[in-house]
Structure 1
Amino acid sequence: MKTRQKALELLRTVGTLPDDRIDLAEAALALAVLDQPGAEPEPYRRHLAQLALDVADATQAAGKGPLPLSTRIAALRDVLYAKHGYRGDSDTYEDLQNANLIRVIDRRLGLPVALGILLIHAARAQGWGILGLSFPGHFLVRMDLDGERAILDPFDGAARREPRELRDLLKQTAGAEAELTPEHYTPVTNREILLRLQNNLKLRHLRSDRADQAVEVIENMLLFDPENPGLWREAGLLNAHLGKLTAAIQAFETFMVQGSKLGASPQLLHQTASLVQQLKTRLN
């Protein structure tokens, strides 16, 4: 229970931080603890530190001074995929373990976003420029150095992806008519990466008709993104579906407050207010 409480406190703290101060891997580790009762995070923190140290060691042979982008990418590949054996889980892609950082580290298998978090962690520990992209259906990362850019696929050994390959990947995930646009290359924030990680769990629970577990995932998401109106509305809808009327009302009312601040449509706000009145009537 103490470990779980620490994870909750860490995520609540993350919810108050500016995005650039979020420790992505540490937050993902806290989410994994909540998803796996009894897990102790310290051995996994040591592993994360070892990944960073191994990447630093891998670059020492390249000499002093700024390292070329290709050398940085090679070091990440050698450490994460060759030395530590990480790979994308193509065989059991839908397995919930693939979105839990603790189980990803245990199994050396994961989804693109979970493996991407490990790549980002190891690269940022060296002070290298790396970020996630808003590419749909398949998480990608981008590394930048002196005007040179490389888009890497964490699911495939950090392979470098060229525009033709990205177009093919997009069509696989978004349909044959989809075409690349600038928005597919838009960087995402640390919070958005964490949301993307947790969305994998939420959607799998919903597909398996486990709305109660999906609500738990959303509640954990709200710890680190408490001003997200969409999450509050989802929590309201799922709690109402589960018959948890008081929780649904509270979530909808929070949605209306946050939604009003962030420009939610008057129609949606009115619709939600009507839902709240209906739920309050059912409580009486």
Structure 2
Amino acid sequence: MERVVGDFRDLLRSPEIDLGGAALAVARIEHPELSIESSLAALDDLAARSGVTKTGGGRPALDRLREFLFGEEGFRGNADDYYDPCNSCLNDVLERRLGIPITLSVLAMEVGRRVGLEIVGIGLPGHFCVGSRVGDELLVLDPFGGGRVLERAEAEAIVARAVGRAVKLTDTHFAPTPKPQIVVRMLRNLETIYARREDWAKALAVIDRLLVVDSGVPAHLRDRGTVLVKLGDL
């Protein structure tokens, strides 16, 4: 376990984090024998087949990527079984074409990066989406909703449903989420899922990784102690 967590630490210390690789390292909590290289190759294959590079860039390139991933390839949100841990594992998303907002967003970001599109993560309250700047305009896309372009009012409606109250979104809400914080959000999702399932061994594995990427948060140490009690190790 120490070696696995050490490898995770090394991955996140890279000057430019490989988000796809980091997401797949997170997925190893659920799938310890996962071949990260095979899943990265699947991302490469999607990029190669997308046809985005033939569009000349700009809005046509972004629209082509949306059509390819969420139309032709059939990636979609798993609203029927949202808390299935497989939805949080990028390898499973690639295989099943089902995910939650953050893993579908990572998919779009990573395929986009491979075809020369700058797509950033946007961590709205209770919902994760992506954005890409076309000229002076930031286009906000909802991968969980089929890759549709969101107007601000639509984004506010999605957030209101997610958090149970109205939230007035400002430009700050649409600022790019740093890659380490995307990894943190993925881990926190899995921590919640494993706690709901009382799978304390996997919850502990999540927290150990949170302590690597988000070490300044005392709550992680508290949560680790709670989980160790559940496991009978304290």
TM-score (normalizing by structure 2): 0.88
Is 1:17 matched with 2:14? Answer: yes
Tell me, in whole angstroms, the C-alpha distance in 2 between the residues paired with 1:50 and 1:9: 29
What is aligned with 1:154? 143
Q: 1:229 aligns with which of 198, 211, 217?
A: 217
What is aligned with 1:123? 112
Q: How much has 1:172 moved relative to structure 2? A: 0.4
What is aligned with 2:24? 29
1:164-213 per-residue CA deviation (whole Å, 9 max, x = no partner) reads: 11121111012234332344223211111111112111101222333333
Structure label with greater radius of gyration = 1
8 Å CA contact 1:170–1:179 kept in 2: the answer is no
Residue identity over aligned pairs, in percent, reads 31
Moved more, 157-166 or 176-185: 176-185
What is aligned with 1:38? 33
What is aligned with 2:75? 86
- Runs (5+) with no aligned partner, structure 2: none
After superposition, the Cα gap between the structure-2 partners of 1:213 and 1:33, relative to the gap in structure 1 and judged at 3 Å, is closer
Q: Give the SS at the match of 1:139.
A: strand
8 Å CA contact 1:137–1:174 kept in 2: the answer is yes
Higher helix share: 1
What is aligned with 2:53? 59
- Runs (5+) with no aligned partner, structure 1: 246-284
8 Å CA contact 1:8–1:30 kept in 2: the answer is no
Tell me, in whole angstroms, the C-alpha distance in 2 between the residues paired with 1:226 and 1:108: 29
Q: How much has 1:163 moved relative to structure 2? A: 1.2
8 Å CA contact 2:87–2:100 kept in 1: the answer is yes
Which structure has more relative contact order (CA 8 Å, sep 6+)? It is 2
8 Å CA contact 1:129–1:145 kept in 2: the answer is no
Q: Give the SS at the match of 1:34.
A: coil
Tell me, in whole angstroms, the C-alpha distance in 1 between the residues paired with 2:191 and 2:98: 19
Letter of the structure 1 residue corresponding to residue 12 of structure 2:
G
Q: Give the SS at the match of 2:167.
A: coil
What is aligned with 1:238? 227
List structure 1 segments (4+ residues) > 6 angstroms apart after TM superposition: none
The within-5 A match list for 1:1-284 is 8=5, 10-18=7-15, 21-55=16-50, 57-60=51-54, 62-63=55-56, 67-68=57-58, 70-223=59-212, 225=213, 227-230=215-218, 231-245=220-234
What is the CA RMSD across the aligned residues, in angstroms? 2.3
